[in-house]
């Protein structure tokens, strides 16, 4: 059987006068080397992509993190200048791809911005600056240090007993690298909380009654997927679900 393929929605990046549609190395690298799946990067066109045609041709969906934030208008709020940057092309693709994947039972792993998109796609809302909420930690990326130092595993989260992630990496406290400004506010009705930070911030969710692996995490398992056991196990579980889906589709 050929190696399975997952869709990875692109971000838009402008270099000089040229717009690029891109995905970060850490995500597609972890997908290939740890999950054992190939990636098809989906251009972030605001319109014109055929969502069903994309999902017909892949065995899973990997929704990555990004520098941009989900546009507040998509969850019923008014955007302020501080809420950006935004990526309308990405938003236009990720939300319908997520809904389509959930409906079809396509394996889904949503990371950082991805968990926020998962929540919005299914009817939830976000808080734009979680560090400004009373009693919450500052979850933002540190200003100092190189990239490895910024993404070091330092924050504790608690995995819920009986959750999907508990079946993958065990219940209880683990250390993660959670770096974000936005966070889940109102949880979508069809999502269950899988993990929380010490300050109560939702750090992982799963789709209730999902036909396959369908998990979102606020942290970055892609970054240390080769060396950190919980990160590796998340990508391995996603890869196993993708292969199972591919086998079922091929009969």
Q: CB neighbours of 103 closer than 8 A, spacing ≥ 6? A: none
Which backbone phi and psi does 22 adopt, to 5 degrees? -140, 155
Assign 131 a pLDDT band (cuts: 50, 70, 90).
Answer: low
Which backbone phi and psi does 39 adopt, to 5 degrees? -115, 135
What is the Cα Rg of the chain in Å? 17
Q: What is the pLDDT of residue 35?
A: 98
Identify any residues that bridge with 195 across adjacent strands, giving them in sequence order. 159, 204
Angle at 217 between CA 128 and CA 84, to 5 degrees: 25
Q: CB neighbours of 47 closer than 8 A, spacing ≥ 6? A: 92
Tokens of 90: 């990405």
Q: What is the pLDDT of residue 199?
A: 86
Is the CB of residue 22 less than 8 Å from the CB of residue 33?
no
pLDDT digits (tens, 9 = 90+) for 218-232: 999 999 999 999 999
Q: What is the pLDDT of residue 143?
A: 66
pLDDT over 90 at 142, yes or no? no
Q: What is the pLDDT of residue 239?
A: 98
pLDDT over 80 at 144, yes or no? no
Q: What is the pLDDT of residue 221?
A: 96
Assign 78 a pLDDT band (cuts: 50, 70, 90).
Answer: confident
Q: What is the pLDDT of residue 120?
A: 98
pLDDT over 70 at 140, yes or no? no
Supply the range of the domain harboring residue 233: 5-249
Assign 132 a pLDDT band (cuts: 50, 70, 90).
Answer: low
Q: CB neighbours of 157 closer than 8 A, spacing ≥ 6? A: 173, 174, 175, 176, 178, 195, 196, 197, 203, 204, 219
DSSP state of 229: H
Whole-number percent of the chain with pLDDT over 70: 94
pTM: 0.94
| More confident site: 153 or 145 | 153
Q: What is the CATH number of the domain that holds 47?
A: 3.40.50.880
The helix/strand/coil state of 96 is helix
pLDDT over 70 at 135, yes or no? no
Least confident residue range of 126-130, 137-141, 203-207, 242-246: 137-141
Q: What is the pLDDT of residue 130?
A: 67
Q: How many domains does the chain have?
A: 1
pLDDT over 70 at 56, yes or no? yes
pLDDT digits (tens, 9 = 90+) for 189-214: 999 999 999 988 999 999 999 999 99
pLDDT digits (tens, 9 = 90+) for 84-113: 789 999 999 999 999 999 999 999 999 999
Q: What is the pLDDT of residue 138?
A: 58
Active-site annotation, residues: 112, 220, 222
């Amino acid at each position: 059987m050929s190696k399975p393929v997952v869709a990875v929605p692109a971000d838009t990046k402008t270099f000089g006068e040229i717009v690029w549609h891109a995905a970060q190395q850490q995500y597609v690298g972890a997908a290939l080397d740890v999950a054992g799946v190939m990636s098809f990067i989906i251009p972030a066109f605001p319109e014109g992509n055929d969502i069903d045609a994309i999902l017909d041709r892949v065995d899973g969906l990997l929704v990555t993190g990004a520098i941009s934030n989900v546009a507040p208008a998509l969850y019923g709020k008014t955007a302020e200048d501080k809420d950006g940057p935004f990526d309308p092309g990405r938003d236009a693709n990720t939300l319908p791809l997520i809904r389509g994947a959930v409906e079809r039972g396509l394996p889904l792993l949503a990371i950082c911005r991805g968990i926020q998109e998962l929540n919005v796609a299914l009817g939830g809302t976000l808080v734009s600056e979680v560090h400004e909420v009373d009693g919450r930690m500052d979850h933002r990326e540190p200003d100092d240090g190189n990239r490895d130092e910024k993404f070091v595993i330092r924050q504790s989260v608690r995995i819920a007993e009986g959750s999907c992630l508990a079946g993958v990496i065990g219940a209880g406290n683990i250390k993660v690298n959670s770096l974000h400004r936005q966070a889940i506010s109102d949880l979508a009705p069809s999502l269950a909380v899988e993990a929380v930070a010490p300050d109560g911030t939702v750090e992982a969710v799963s789709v209730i009654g999902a036909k396959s692996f369908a998990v979102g995490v606020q942290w970055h398992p892609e970054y240390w997927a080769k060396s950190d056991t919980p990160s590796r196990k998340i990508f391995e579980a996603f890869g196993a679900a993708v292969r199972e889906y591919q086998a079922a589709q091929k009969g």
